[in-house]
Chains A and B, each alone.
Chain A
Amino acid sequence: MRGIQTLTSSLLLVSAIAGLSLLESQIQVFSFGDTGIDARFFPRIVLGLLVLAVLIRLFVHRKTPDMPLGYVSSWLRVGLAAAAVTLGLFLMPSIGFLASAALSGFVTALAFGERRLMFSVGLPLAVAAIVSFGAREGLNIPLP
């Protein structure tokens, strides 16, 4: 693995190729005559151009130094926060916005290195409570 830029470019390339291969199954076509200007016309051009552009990028930068992937601990911190938000979203319909938002905030604070209970638990809980109250009572948003 060369570095993060090559990894991201490769992911974009795979996604664009997947998009092109799924074009027929994901887009139903109703023909307007024989012009070929149907619902697949524009996506085919754009995805094709994306594949071409990413291939050119990978070729042009094949010998230039890439940005390093970074430390495992850095990725773990991001992974921890992303996992906490994902868990919060899964639980939101059952435990409600306040609890799941506070949980996401709590784990994010921990990932940032906050160890004091008042700031790691108290602050996210207070922010989540204020936001929930304000959204429900002030903005009439029906939070879960």
Chain B
Amino acid sequence: MLVDAFFALLDIWVLVAAVSGIVAGIVIGAIPGLGPTMAIALLIPVTFSMDPIPAITLLLGVYQGAIFGGSISAILLNVPGTPSSAATAIDGYAMARAGQGGKALRIALFASVFGNIFSCLVLMMLAQPLASMALNFGPAEMATLMLFALTVIILFGGGAKLDAAIMVLVGICAGIIGLDPIEGTPRFTFDNFSLENGLQLIPVLVGLFAMSEVFLQLFNRPKVSAGTQEVPELLPSKVGLIEMWRMKTSLFLSSVIGTFIGILPGIGSTVPAFMSYSLARSRSREPSSFGKGAPEGVAAPEAANNAVTGGALIPTLALGIPGDAVTAVILGAFMLQGLAPGPFLFRDYGVEVYAIFEALLLSSIPCIIFGLLLFRVAVHVIRIQPRHLFPAITILALLGAFSVNNSMVDVWVMLGAGVVGFLLRRSGFPLPPLLIGLILGKSLEQSLRQALLTSGGSLEIFTASPIAAGFLVIIALCLIAAVVFHLKARNPSEKSATGDV
């Protein structure tokens, strides 16, 4: 399988796609406000006429490049291009102010590539066995697995749990629109034939992440943009293998954290980046140097946030459960290419999937080459003014929504999702749980109803299966753990409040 997949990669278009994706990703990721999610959502139309392998390689290249690109503005301007680069900015910006911006960027690049290679290898080892195991799952097991994924997103996704729960429910409600998955009757279509296919994923994504960003930037119109800030001079510098070797344990542990937290749905790459930063500081012989320009303070979060790439793809491809917002977009891209993620993906399209994994692994080479070449270009990209950038994004969003089905209804859906996304983001509600609720909602309903119809409406079907019962026990344990943590976190504040009185 691996050899066949490698031969499938021997196509000039795969190389062109990988390089284009990485270059586009680094440039887009460097612009504050444009993350990998928006970049991939807007670039999906470009892949329509491509074969599956180069198409997905291009989008994964964008993902890989954008996460590293996010660190460029974080290091040079203290403005993280992506939320996960915020941890990199702490020591990266301190290094840049000390005239070591070039060195910090090189450390970030090499650490990113290390994290990516590590997580890719884990992806190649774990995804297929997980998918094979899931082949034996019936409706009861699938329903409880999806309930578990949604519980994890709500409880451990960060932010207010009640807000995350509301967003998951809003996403599931949005997924109800269209034909019923069992009986095929229209639901909430208001007799509009175009709505019978439901809300298409890509227009909703483009609206939620691109159009809402345009509205949000308009609302908060910054008086001073990143472009007017002074960029520290990039002095010639080198980072040797020996210097990176000294950080090997930090790089390894950060990659492990990134990969395995990436597997959990909904947590994203910000949490592992900060966890790795804290771990590197606590393990360091000079913890006081952290925050003042410690190279390990750049390497650890960069290795972790890039390792999330492969980790988040494991449940996405093996089970059809996206790990975060970016993998939800990639899941949409797989579906558009006819490669439906889930347990059957590896059985039906094994060569294509392994070719994509190998492409992701091998794209570390162009990532290093173009990463080193694009440092100085990215500095100019950061200077693009929002008033020039966002009108162009509006136009690309219109094209992105229309191109999925060549339908005006999808463009209206995109605009509606943009307005809703803006209101929700302005109110502090998180969007990734909504997106994952939208993706999992229909499958959850189908599995739940199939299970209940099989059992004649009895809930015993969920306790009779050891796997389903196991998931229910884990869900209960997660809920108990969340309540205990919540109470523990509240007690000290209550005690201090009482003490103050």
Residue positions of A touching B, CB distance < 8 A: 4-5, 7-9, 11-12, 16, 19, 22, 26-30, 32-33, 35-39, 41-43, 46-47, 49-50, 53-54, 56-57, 60, 67, 70, 74-75, 77-78, 81-82, 85-86, 88-89, 92-93, 97, 100-102, 104-106, 108-109, 111-114, 119, 123-124, 127-128, 131, 135, 138-144
Contact = CB atoms under 8 A, between A and B. Distances in A.
A35 B452 contact: yes
Given A35-B457, A54-B166, A109-B391, A101 B424 contact: no
B358 interface: no
23 contacts: A7-B427, A8-B424, A8-B429, A19-B188, A22-B188, A26-B188, A26-B189, A37-B452, A46-B173, A57-B166, A74-B218, A77-B219, A81-B214, A92-B408, A104-B398, A105-B395, A106-B391, A108-B218, A112-B221, A113-B221, A114-B387, A127-B391, A127-B396
B166 A42 contact: no
A60 B162 CA distance: 10
B27 to A, nearest CB: 16
B170 A119 contact: no
A81 B216 CA distance: 11
A78 B220 CA distance: 10
Shortest beta-carbon contacts, A-B, top 10: A112-B387, A35-B457, A105-B391, A8-B427, A39-B180, A50-B169, A42-B445, A109-B391, A114-B387, A108-B391
Nearest to A71: B219
B456 interface: yes
B225 to A, nearest CB: 10
Given A112-B387, A119-B388, A12 B166 contact: yes
B286 interface: no
A interface, over-half SS? helix
Nearest to B160: A57
A75 B221 CA distance: 11
Contacts of A123: 388, 391-392
A66 B457 CA distance: 43
Given A27-B185, A39-B187, A101-B399, A56 B391 contact: no
B163 interface: yes
Nearest to B176: A43
B392 A127 contact: yes
B406 interface: yes
A42 B411 contact: no
Interface in B399-448: 399, 402-403, 406, 408, 411-412, 415, 418-419, 422-424, 426-429, 441, 445, 448
B187 A26 contact: yes
B436 to A, nearest CB: 15
Interface string B181-219: 011011111100000000000000000000100110111
B245 to A, nearest CB: 45
Contact of B48 (A9, A131, A141): A141
Given A39-B187, A89-B412, A131 B399 contact: yes
Contact of B449 (A9, A30, A42, A77): A42
A76 B427 CA distance: 17
B390 interface: yes
Best-buried of B189, B391, B406, B423 by chain A (most CB within 10 Å): B391
A8 B423 contact: yes
Contact of A112 (B173, B176, B391): B391
A139 B45 contact: yes
B172 interface: yes
Given A100-B398, A101-B395, 15 more contacts: A8-B427, A22-B188, A42-B445, A49-B169, A50-B166, A53-B162, A74-B220, A82-B215, A97-B399, A108-B390, A119-B388, A124-B391, A131-B395, A135-B403, A143-B402
Contacts of A77: 218-219, 221
B293 interface: no
Contact of A142 (B189, B406, B453): B406
A135 B427 contact: no
B403 A139 contact: yes
A2 B418 CA distance: 24
Contacts of B394: 81, 85, 101, 104-105, 108
Contact of B428 (A5, A56, A101): A5
Contacts of B422: 78
Size category of the binding interface on chain B: 35 or more
A32 B449 CA distance: 11
Interface string B141-171: 0000000000000000000001101100110
A54 B412 CA distance: 27
A141 B402 contact: yes
Best-buried of B396, B406, B412, B426 by chain A (most CB within 10 Å): B426
Contacts of B183: 29-30, 38-39
Nearest to B189: A26
Contacts of B182: 39
A5 B218 CA distance: 19
Contact of B221 (A37, A74, A139): A74
A112 B419 contact: no
A36 B2 CA distance: 49
Contact of B392 (A85, A97, A105): A105
Contacts of B387: 109, 112-114, 119
A30 B445 contact: no
Given A53-B169, A70-B219, A109-B387, A43 B187 contact: yes
B46 interface: yes
Nearest to B423: A8
A93 B396 CA distance: 18
Given A22-B188, A37-B457, A53 B219 contact: no
B402 to A, nearest CB: 7
Contacts of A36: 457
Contacts of A70: 219, 426
